[in-house]
Amino acid sequence: MPESNSFWNWLLSLFRSRRSTPVVAANPPPVVAPPTVTVPPPTTEPERAAIVAELEAAPALPPPPPRPLPRPPALTPLENTPSLPDIDVGILEQVLPQEGPNLGFRAVWNNHPTVETGETFPCRDADGNPHFGNQCAILMGTCLLRSNLLQGYDKTTCWYSGHKGHTLRAREVADWMRRNPGRFGPVEVRSNVSWGAFRGRTGFVCFHNFWGVGNQGDHIDLWDGTGILMREKNPGWEGPALADGSLDYFERSEEVWFWPVH
């Protein structure tokens, strides 16, 4: 009997060894929270002012290159077509002069408020009333600002909020331009002249001592001595023109300061 028990014990040990090991379920992977995005605090007013000043001081981007014009289709000559009469080429070749610094004078001309919209009093109050009776210097300052030519201006400007480029005195603007020949070129100073002396030229002009009490008033303006630019705005115009003045300013002035530019 003991031997028999030994046999059964041996047999049971075989069955116990063949039992499957219980499978332990794997722990699920830990959930990883997404990273926290840190939002920068809003800038303070001084920081905003510094950013605005930095952007305003940045140089203007160059204009995009002109797009090529499409090539016109080839024309087939017609038989027995009469020849065209001779045309005076001088009439067709009316181009702006290339004298003085290249400031893009056509764009400068179109940036003048009087040329652009007919405005002669850009400095107004909330009701539309002009702050000053004579605003030729403000017109020129606005034109220079729009043309990116007013950087470094250090004379009197309008004290009303938001009125950028409102230079107040024509003589101060002219003196400042004269001190910046690297930008505007050398100035020509002439006396006892008429507008005919500047025919065919374009540029900036300042008239000294010709109006007001004691003829102490000045006027600063743009000069289109060709009439080409004025005709682009007013097709019926004939002859040279000032952006915001009269041709008799030349002969009435004690001195005429002229900066030829194109």
User: Rounded to two decimals, what is the model's pTM?
Assistant: 0.64
227: pLDDT confidence band, cut at 50, 70 and 90?
Answer: very high
| Tens digit of each residue's pLDDT (9 = 90 or more) over 20-60 | 555 555 555 555 555 544 434 444 556 445 433 443 443 33
Whether the Cβ atoms of residue 166 and residue 123 lie closer than 8 Å to each other: yes
Distances 183 to 22, 148, 187, 193, 199 between C-alpha atoms, Å: 91, 11, 11, 26, 23
- Residue, of 118 and 81, whose pLDDT is higher: 118
pLDDT digit string, tens, across residues 239-262: 999 999 999 999 999 999 999 999
Please check whether residue 222 is in contact with residue 245, taking contact to mean a CB–CB distance below 8 angstroms. Answer: no
55 compared with 201, residue with greater pLDDT: 201
Residue keyed to tokens 């499957």? 20
Name residues whose C-beta falls within 8 Å of residue 173's C-beta, 6 or more positions apart in sequence.
Answer: 137, 140, 141, 144, 153, 155, 167, 206, 220
Q: At residue 205, what are phi and psi to the nearest 5 degrees? A: -140, 140
Distance CA 65, CA 167 (A): 33
Report DSSP letters for 193-239, one per residue.
--GGGGTT-EEEEEEEEEESGGG-EEEEEEEESSSHHHHHH-TT--S
CA distance 98 to 106: 12
What is the CATH number that goes with domain 95-260? 3.90.1720.70
Distance (Å, rounded) from C-alpha 239 to C-alpha 36? 70
Residue 220 structure tokens: 């600063």
**63 versus 115: which is more confidently predicted?**
115
CA–CA dist 208, 205 (Å, integer) = 10
Distance (Å) of CA 111 to CA 13, 71, 105, 119:
106, 32, 10, 11
